[in-house]
Structure formats: C-alpha cells, structure tokens
Amino acid sequence: MTVAVQRPSRVALATGAGSGMGRLAARRLVAAGAMVAALDCNEKGLRETVAGCDRIRPWLLDVVDLAAVVAATEREFGPIDRVMSAAGIMPTSLRRARAPGA
C-alpha cells in the first residue's frame, strides 16, 4: 500500500528570515498560503519569526551553500515556488550606530 504525502500547494524559501525584510517576507508568504522554509543564522530572531505560526519551518544556518539549502527544502516540502533572499551582513555595531536615539 502506498501512502500519499500531502504537500503544501506553495513552497517558499526566505533567507534572512530572522529579522527585517526577511521576517516580513516570510510572514507575508505564509499569509498568501505558502509553507515557508525560513533561513537565518540568528537563532533568537528565527524563534521570533516563527512564534505562533505552524507554516514556517525555521532552519538555523548560514546560506553560503544555497544548492544544499534548496535540495533540503525540496526534500522536505516539494518544489520551491518562490524565493525571497534578504540575507546580508550588517555588523551589530553598525545597527546600534544607526538606531534612533543611539
């Protein structure tokens, strides 16, 4: 007997999902009906992004090997329909310096 695995109708991958534009994109993709693989190297930020949402799967990692990330996402959810890449490098000291009132 073969058991069919229910796959989400839309699969999205969002890098930089632990904060800022990446977090916003992940949440908007979920609102549009997608299952989202949320990637970031910021564990605390990913926990905040995922809080209260069962359609976001957090993956704590650096996205340097994008081919491996895509392969893992497709094994888990099926073919990727959307990609939002917001991963970037911004040292904490620069963030603090640019923060209002800093």
Q: Which of 54-58, 60-64, 85-89, 93-97 has the highest mean pLDDT?
A: 54-58
pLDDT in tens, 65-83: 778 888 888 988 889 988 8
Least confident of 42-46, 47-51, 60-64: 60-64
Q: Enter the pTM of the model.
A: 0.74
Q: For the chain, list the domains and their CATH numbers.
A: 11-98 (3.40.50.720)
pLDDT at 7 over 60: no
Give one DSSP letter per residue of the chain, joined into a string. ---PPPPPS-EEEEETTTSHHHHHHHHHHHHTT-EEEEEES-HHHHHHHHTT-TTEEEEES-TT-HHHHHHHHHHHHSS--EEEE------HHHHHHHSTT-
